[in-house]
Amino acid sequence: MRGKAIMAALALAGCATMPPASPDGAARFEWFEYSGGDPVDARAKPGPGEYRNPILQGFYPDPSITRAGDDYYLVTSTFGYFPGIPVFHSRDLTNWTQIGNAIDRPDQLDFGTLGLSRGVFAPAIEHHADTFYILNTCVDCGGNFLITATDPAGPWSDPVWLPEIVGGIDPSLFFDADGSAWIVNNGPPEGTPRYDGHRAIWIQRFDPKAKKMVGPRKVLVDGGVDPAAKPIWIEGPHIIRKDGWYYLICAEGGTAEGHSQVVLRSRKADGPYTPNPANPILTQRDLPRGRPDPITSAGHADFVQLPNGDWWATFLAVRPYRGDFYNTGRETFLMPVDWSGEWPRITAPGQAIPYVAARPALPPQAKPAVPTNGPFTIREEFDGAALGPHWMMMRNPRETWHRLQDGALVLTARAAGLGDNANPSFLARRQQHRDVSASTLVRFAPAKGAQAGLAALQSDEYWFALAVADRGGGREIRLTQRAGPDDPKAGRIVARATAPAGPVRLRIRAEGDRYHFDHAGERGAWSTLHADADGKLLSTARAGGFVGAVFGLYAKAGDQ
């Protein structure tokens, strides 16, 4: 089993000629095209010397950033998706290229049958003495761990587990000027929690040579910056040092519309820490909810210093299309840190996060080959040696079920389905815009009960699937949806039509919360199978969890 799992990871990483687990029941996808934009694009166009927010659109939450010389590296959460923890590189903080994934071998972690919003939470990246460190929590799959690399593109080490962080999440690493190191993390408070969401920030020394925590553990923050107000979910801690002060920055208020960033400071790394009297230093909860083109739920920031002394912050926020509904998940934003006073500040009270702002004082970099923001169209021809690192699957593979062959992506139809809390034959990329078209061409002769096509998915319980499917020995175009755990795992059939002969084109179009499903032969006009489906079932508000929607290609065998 271990050998098969490693073979599957190699196929995703670049071994395109590897044979599938089974030569039967394969679906051949000739291409995949994603095209998207947002209404705000017409009004928020970066000019010379400006950049666009979010810097990473779509499901890229909990960003952490580090600098190594003139290079910047950023990681985000991926929860139950594999490969996990994308690693991005930039030299100007605004144009980012994904150079790999820190969790790219199935035997590094085991997501098993976890829900997609479990797994790897809030990675924190740090660079020190020619080594890159990522601290992370595998929720319900092992706890807190450390991985290291000399090249941030990989390979990254197997996890070194940190059992001292009992019940904790969000660990991050701080190296002091003398080379000593500390780990801070969110954890349960001492004694019995006083209310739901009562957490604490802990600190403990770390030995980087032995790669283990040493000495006593200590609480730095109990509850939050104002314990009398019963603050919830103090988390995502980072320590930075500036002008003889140690600044502890944390998220507070939960990851919904009450989210914020707060700061405390001390003359020693292990405290005691005094909160900023003007907290929070970042939030959007003080703005009117009905404002146009809102950005909400901002927090979970990390700081980085530029060679000229400027400081910048990456953080997460969301862009609802209505109320608190958004399908794109929590995204990565960038803003300067204002140190004009005694304390750092990202947004002033009542200040909206800008879609367009002045660039950092760094030499501009070329646009990445795979765009990460703004309106764009990208077409995957599957004619390279490997899939790009932005492609993901649900949980770790345990057998080889996909390959690139003769300019196509070939998926083996297997028993695992989209609703099975398993590792189905499904490869996806993130939805990065409110208004989207995702399309493909598939060649598929389904065996009894089999299907293959295009899916829009938020979790095992919430998805749409548009497929070429078997129907009594013939072929049909079938739209299936699952709108919650009470629906069958295989979903409910919403619409069906006779399939054209030969290859079939499939397309899903999103316009805010309206999703439309089209099909066509290899050439000719599109026909709409079903229009105006309620796409809010792919939103965080409806489906819950911490991920965003993805579009992907899938194949499923019949139930025997």
For 189-206, what is the mean pLDDT?
Answer: 97
Query: Which domains are delineated in the chain?
Result: 2-33+375-556 (2.60.120.200), 59-358 (2.115.10.20)
pLDDT tens string 111-131? 999 999 999 999 999 999 999
Spatial separation of the C-alpha atoms in residues 22 and 343, rounded to whole Å:
60
Pairing relationship of beta strands 212-222 and 235-242 according to DSSP bridges: unpaired
> With 50 as the cut, is the pLDDT of residue 7 above it?
no
> How many residues are listed for the chain in this entry?
560
Instruction: Please state, as a whole number, how many other Cβ atoms lie within 10 Å of the Cβ of residue 488.
Output: 9
State the pLDDT at residue 384.
93
Instruction: Please state, as a whole number, how many other Cβ atoms lie within 10 Å of the Cβ of residue 420.
Output: 15
- Find the DSSP H helices in 145-199: none
> With 50 as the cut, is the pLDDT of residue 302 above it?
yes
CA 31 to chain centre: 24
Selection from 449, 465, 461, 445 nearest residue 517 by Cα: 465
- Cα angle 120, 122, 125 (rounded to 5 degrees) comes to 105
State the pLDDT at residue 429.
98
Spatial separation of the C-alpha atoms in residues 547 and 430, rounded to whole Å:
10
**Inter-residue long-range contacts of 307-314, CB under 8 Å, 24+ positions, other chains counted:** 307/70, 308/361, 310/336, 310/337, 310/360, 310/361, 311/336, 311/337, 311/339, 311/344, 312/93, 312/336, 312/337, 312/360, 313/282, 313/337, 313/346, 314/55, 314/63, 314/64, 314/65, 314/74
pLDDT tens string 394-451? 999 999 999 999 999 999 999 999 999 999 999 999 999 999 999 999 999 999 999 9
For 328-355, what is the mean pLDDT?
Answer: 97
pTM above threshold 0.85: yes
pLDDT tens string 460-500? 999 999 999 999 989 999 999 999 999 999 999 999 999 99
Spatial separation of the C-alpha atoms in residues 417 and 554, rounded to whole Å:
9
Task: Give catalytic residues, as residue numbers.
Answer: 62, 235
CB-based contact 184:172 (threshold 8 Å): yes
State the pLDDT at residue 559.
75
Place 22 in a pLDDT band, splitting at 50, 70 and 90. Answer: very low
Secondary structure element (H or E) that encloses residue 10, with its range: helix 2-13
Instruction: Please state, as a whole number, how many other Cβ atoms lie within 10 Å of the Cβ of residue 127.
Output: 17
The CA distances from residue 445 to 16, 125, 476, in Å, are: 23, 46, 11
Place 14 in a pLDDT band, splitting at 50, 70 and 90. Answer: very low
Place 25 in a pLDDT band, splitting at 50, 70 and 90. Answer: confident
Spatial separation of the C-alpha atoms in residues 203 and 220, rounded to whole Å:
7
pLDDT tens string 226-256? 999 999 999 999 999 999 999 999 999 999 9
The CA distances from residue 457 to 33, 222, 484, 532, in Å, are: 17, 38, 12, 17
Instruction: Please state, as a whole number, how many other Cβ atoms lie within 10 Å of the Cβ of residue 74.
Output: 27
Spatial separation of the C-alpha atoms in residues 356 and 390, rounded to whole Å:
25
Instruction: Please state, as a whole number, how many other Cβ atoms lie within 10 Å of the Cβ of residue 76.
Output: 24
| Interacting residues of 524 by C-beta distance below 8 A, sequence separation 6+ | none
Q: What share of the chain is helix, strand, coil (3-state, %, to 5)?
A: 5, 45, 50
Burial of 544 (0-12, 13-18, 19+ CB in 10 A): middle
CB-based contact 556:417 (threshold 8 Å): yes
| Interacting residues of 292 by C-beta distance below 8 A, sequence separation 6+ | none
For 17-47, b/e burial (b = at least 16 CB within 10 A) is: ebebbeeebbbbbbbbbbbbbbebbeebebe
In the block, tokens 């605004």 appear at: 94
Among the listed ranges 4-13, 313-322, 533-542, which one has the minimum average pLDDT value? 4-13
